[in-house]
């Protein structure tokens, strides 16, 4: 195929990223310490409104640290959405805790509060006490936080937000990732803000923040020699990755605007052929343009057609309750996540796309639709 490959969500290095990386090299700050890392912490707190932010090396690490800091341990029950990426859930297993999966509601595609409360009641009736809820803001769409937070308050459950896909998205004017006790961000290579890799933990609790910082640095005591009282992790972010993420973060609002424009072009060009997902809940960041195909059309067939033209697309998340690794897990389903997986596709959404690129994609799609 002669056409240059069109990727799903490639990084767009169009700001000060190179300048900041060059500064890191020139000053020899390439380890998990340095000016870019400190500036990234500051900029994250300013962007999100969170009192504290600790950059780490992945979004999965951020969730793991959040679970540890929240006291999640062996056999604790943690409610998780079934419609998500596995990185939202594996940290629960790292803690030898028990995930209970909750299906989606159709408005935001995120955790259904009605099913969540039913699951809580059932578990309490069995004499067990659940511990926490991981709320994911999938594809940048804010979850229904008001009812979920109300349920958490009624049943005294900890809320941890997985905002890996929703940096810059807001709910009632407040940034996602800042509603729960702790929040997690991702700077993976395909995210709206990337450091090549990376993530961050958000919290308003200074005690938890200090604990997270220590855990991410092998639980080293603040002494001139190495002393460790607790198990720790090598979850720190390098100053180089922080420099890239900092340059990206400075462009976040522009990136969201461009991604929403890209989605609007898809919506216009695919009118009557496929449903382009939008939300009426809060303000999303349009990380990926997601579509639902008409009845009888197969997203895998369409993905392969696009692949033949060197265009990357991706199926919507395969629900956790369908994954062999979770075959014995408890799940509360209503059929929505299964339906989304069977009908949905993510389209190229990089901020360097122009209208002509989108038209090429949709013209090819229409040969199938």
pLDDT tens-digit map of 202-253: 999 999 999 999 999 999 999 999 999 999 999 999 999 999 999 999 999 9
DSSP reduced 3-state for 158: strand
Percent of the chain with pLDDT over 90: 98
Element (H, E) at 276: strand 275-276
pLDDT exceeds cutoff 60 at 193:
yes
Could you tell me the pLDDT band of residue 70, with boundaries at 50, 70 and 90? very high
Could you tell me the pLDDT band of residue 3, with boundaries at 50, 70 and 90? confident
Q: Determine how β-strand 174-175 pairs with β-strand 170-171.
A: antiparallel
Q: Which residue has the tokens 């690129």?
A: 357
The per-residue pLDDT for 2 is 55
Could you tell me the pLDDT band of residue 333, with boundaries at 50, 70 and 90? very high
pLDDT digits (tens, 9 = 90+) for 173-190: 999 999 999 999 999 999
Could you tell me the pLDDT band of residue 31, with boundaries at 50, 70 and 90? confident
pLDDT digits (tens, 9 = 90+) for 244-264: 999 999 999 999 999 999 999
Which residue ranges form the domains of the chain, and what is each CATH number? 17-249 (3.40.640.10), 252-366 (3.90.1150.10)
pLDDT exceeds cutoff 60 at 307:
yes
The per-residue pLDDT for 176 is 99
Section 23-52 average pLDDT: 95
Helix ranges restricted to H, 49-141: 59-69, 90-94, 113-125
The per-residue pLDDT for 300 is 98
Structure tokens given for 161 = 């937000």
Exposure class string for 27-50: b at 16+ Cβ within 10 A, else e: eebeebebbbbebbbebbeebbeb
Q: What is the mean pLDDT of the chain?
A: 97
pTM given for the model:
0.96
The per-residue pLDDT for 327 is 95
């Amino acid at each position: 195929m002669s056409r240059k490959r069109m990727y799903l969500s490639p990084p767009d290095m169009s700001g000060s990223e190179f300048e900041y990386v060059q500064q890191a090299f020139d000053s020899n700050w390439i380890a998990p310490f340095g000016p870019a890392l400190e500036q990234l912490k500051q900029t994250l707190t300013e962007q999100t409104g969170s009192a504290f932010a600790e950059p780490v090396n992945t979004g999965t690490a951020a969730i793991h640290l959040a679970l540890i800091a929240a006291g999640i341990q062996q056999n604790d029950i943690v409610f998780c959405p079934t419609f998500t990426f596995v990185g939202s859930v594996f940290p629960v297993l790292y803690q030898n805790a028990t995930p209970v999966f909750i299906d989606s509601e159709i408005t935001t595609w995120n955790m259904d509060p009605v099913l969540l409360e039913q699951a809580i009641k059932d578990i309490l009736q069995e004499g067990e006490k659940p511990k926490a809820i991981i709320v994911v803001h999938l594809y940048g769409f804010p979850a229904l936080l008001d009812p979920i937070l109300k349920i958490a308050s009624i049943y005294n459950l900890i809320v941890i937000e997985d905002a890996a896909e929703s940096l810059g998205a807001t709910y009632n004017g407040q940034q996602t990732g800042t509603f729960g006790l702790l929040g997690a961000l991702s700077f993976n290579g395909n995210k709206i803000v990337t450091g090549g890799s990376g993530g961050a933990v958000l919290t308003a609790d200074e005690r938890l923040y200090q604990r997270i910082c220590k855990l991410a640095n092998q639980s080293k005591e603040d002494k001139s020699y190495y002393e460790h009282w607790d198990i720790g992790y090598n979850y720190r972010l390098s100053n180089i990755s922080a420099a890239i993420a900092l340059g990206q973060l400075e462009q976040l609002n522009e990136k969201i605007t461009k991604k929403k424009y890209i989605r609007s072009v898809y919506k216009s060009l695919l009118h009557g052929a496929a449903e382009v997902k939008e939300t009426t809940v809060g303000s999303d960041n349009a990380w990926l343009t997601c579509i639902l195909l008409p009845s009888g059309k197969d997203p895998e067939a369409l993905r392969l057609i696009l692949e033949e033209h060197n265009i990357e697309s991706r199926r919507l998340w395969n629900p956790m309750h369908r994954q062999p690794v979770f075959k014995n897990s408890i799940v509360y389903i209503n059929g929505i996540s299964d339906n989304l997986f069977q009908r949905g596709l993510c389209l190229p959404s990089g901020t360097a796309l122009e209208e002509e690129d989108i038209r090429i994609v949709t013209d090819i799609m229409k040969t199938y639709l």
